[in-house]
Chains A and B, each alone.
Chain A
Amino acid sequence: MRAYLRKAWLIAWKDLVSEWRSREIFSIMAVFALLTILIFNFALELSSVNRVEVAPGLLWVTFIFAGLLGVNRSFAREQDQGNLAGLMMAPVDRSAIYLGKLIGNLAFIASVEAVTLPLFAALFNVAVPVWPLAVPLFLGTLGFAIIGTVFAAMSVNTRLRDVLLPVLVLPIFVPVVIAAVKASSTAFARRSLLEEARHWLGLLVTFDVLFFTLAMLLFDVILEE
């Protein structure tokens, strides 16, 4: 178990180090997130009245689109440089590759969120309730990384590659979008998450546990050849 986790961690560490050196995924995701927020600002005329109501939805759309870019690169980059074959020949369990990639993706998306949130608060002039928001943000992002990593590994093996990823991920991700936006709304409205959004948080946890388990079981089927 310990050795297994160490292997997964080494794969994640490799991704983090190479990202730290190139900063290619992070910069693309962060710039894209900023652009999305900018476009939203022009596309939707936001008054001070509805800003707090719309904020959670805008944030999630931004994170999902930026996340799709990042998750997609995580396997595409391996394949471009012929590294995927190397990973697959390495004497590690396929699910350890998944776990490592998942940790890496989670770290990328979370850091983009950490950069985007203050800018979002400043540009839209909304106060962001950091700690209450952190709960649905973490659970939703984890769900996205879980599903996104699975489908990124799948779509990289198809003819359409990156174009296919959103079509596969988004329908599966619908329950998380609904639950995460609803729970985030509760946080933005400064109401108690435990009292009013407990069922949404429960749904997020269920999604994360269910699909993490399925992903760990099925991942060696995806990367088989």
Chain B
Amino acid sequence: MEAITSPVGRQGEAGVSRLDTVRRLLGWASVPLLAFALYMAFVYAPPEATMGNVYRIFFFHMPSALASFAGFFVTFVASIGYLKTRRQGWDIWAVAGAEVGIFFATAAIVTGSFWARPVWNTWWTWDPRLTTVTIMWLTYIAYLMLREAVDDPERRARLAAVMGVIAFANVPLVWLSARWFRTIHPVLFGGNNPQAKGDFSLAPSMVVALMAGMVAVLVLWGYFLVRRVQLEQERARLVQRYREEGERGHL
């Protein structure tokens, strides 16, 4: 059973594992937190001076974008972990990070498009952040396709780990090249872009609402991540079992 130990904790035969507890905590915490974030975004925060109510999607847009980066970062760290230790547990975290990252990147891209339509008057533009998130989205879809195309679990983990490192190392370069390409994205924190459209400064109550959205989305992110990890652990255990039974001649 060596192959399926996770770096966080060994799944014991009896009782609830530490990861189970974490998952339950995050799952239950996300319900009131999301409700609170919705209240803060739609009721507490005042309408914005020029954009009115449209801007409220931002309270979920930006946390989603951050959560997607967090997911890809998990893949990066887990890939390095796998290359160093060669333990399948790391590979499980790598795939979970990529999938959860893709989910939140999709959310960020879709909410961003909804916002851009009334504010920028277009669904789509080649703005650097948008471009970066989209390229990362494609890169990690390619990462999952690579995994799909390899049957042997050891080889899959190995090749995926290489891709996981290369994909993340590329992020700053993608961002830089897209930024130099052209930009109209509003820069909210530190930075002043005279060409930015839809720029707005955050009133203190908006910052509070944004923090609420951030915490809620990140807790949800953590819950999805742990859930996905446990699902993959289950699958690895099943594959292992299947193989052992096969060796004994039961199948």
Please state if A172 and B149 are interface contacts (CB–CB under 8 Å). no
Q: Give the nearest-CB partner of B150 in chain A.
A: A158
Spot the interface stretch: A3-11, A38-46, A118-126, A202-210: A202-210
Q: A199-B180, A206-B173, A221-B161 are in contact. Are A159 and B150 (CB under 8 A)?
A: yes
B-contact bits for A155-184, CB 8 A (1 contact / 0 none): 101111000100110011011001100100
A225 to B178, CA, bound (A): 39
Chain B hits for A200, CB < 8 A: 180
Shortest B194–chain A CB gap in Å is: 20
Within the assembled complex, what's the spacing in Å between the Cα atoms of A178 and B146? 25
Contacting residues, chain B, for A150 (C-beta < 8 A): 162, 166
Contacts A159-B150, A164-B145, A211-B166 hold; do A175 and B155 have CB atoms under 8 A apart? Answer: no
Known A158-B149, A164-B145; contact A172-B166, beta-carbon cutoff 8 A: yes
**Contact assessment for B177 and A175 in the assembled complex, using a CB-CB cutoff below 8 Å:** yes
What 0/1 pattern do residues 158 to 198 of B give for CB contact below 8 A with A?
A: 11011101110110011011101100000000000000000
Q: Which of A160, A175, A218 contacts B149 (CB 8 A)?
A: A160
CB distance from B101 to the nearest CB of A (A): 14
The reply to whether A158 and B146 form a contact with Cβ atoms under 8 Å apart is: yes
- How many A residues, CB 8 Å from partner? 31
The residues of B that contact A178 with a CB separation of less than 8 Å are 177-178, 180-181
> Does chain A have a CB within 8 A of B138?
yes
Instruction: Report yes or no: A171 in contact with B142, Cβ–Cβ below 8 A.
Output: yes
Q: Which residues in A have their C-beta under 8 angstroms from that of B13?
A: none
Q: Once the chains are docked, how many angstroms separate the CA of A168 from the CA of B148? A: 13
Residues in B neighbouring A160, C-beta threshold 8 A: 145, 149
- Inter-subunit contact A154/B163 (CB<8 Å): yes
A221-B162, A222-B159 known; A211+B169 contact, CB < 8 A: yes
| Residues of A with C-beta under 8 A to B150 | 157-159
The 10 closest A-B pairs by CB, nearest first: A158-B149, A175-B177, A175-B173, A171-B139, A178-B177, A160-B149, A171-B138, A167-B142, A159-B149, A218-B162
Could you write out 28 A-B pairs with CB less than 8 Å apart?
A: A150-B162, A154-B146, A157-B155, A157-B159, A158-B146, A158-B150, A160-B145, A164-B145, A164-B149, A167-B145, A168-B142, A168-B145, A171-B139, A171-B142, A171-B167, A174-B177, A182-B180, A182-B181, A199-B180, A200-B180, A203-B180, A206-B173, A210-B169, A214-B166, A218-B162, A218-B165, A221-B158, A225-B155
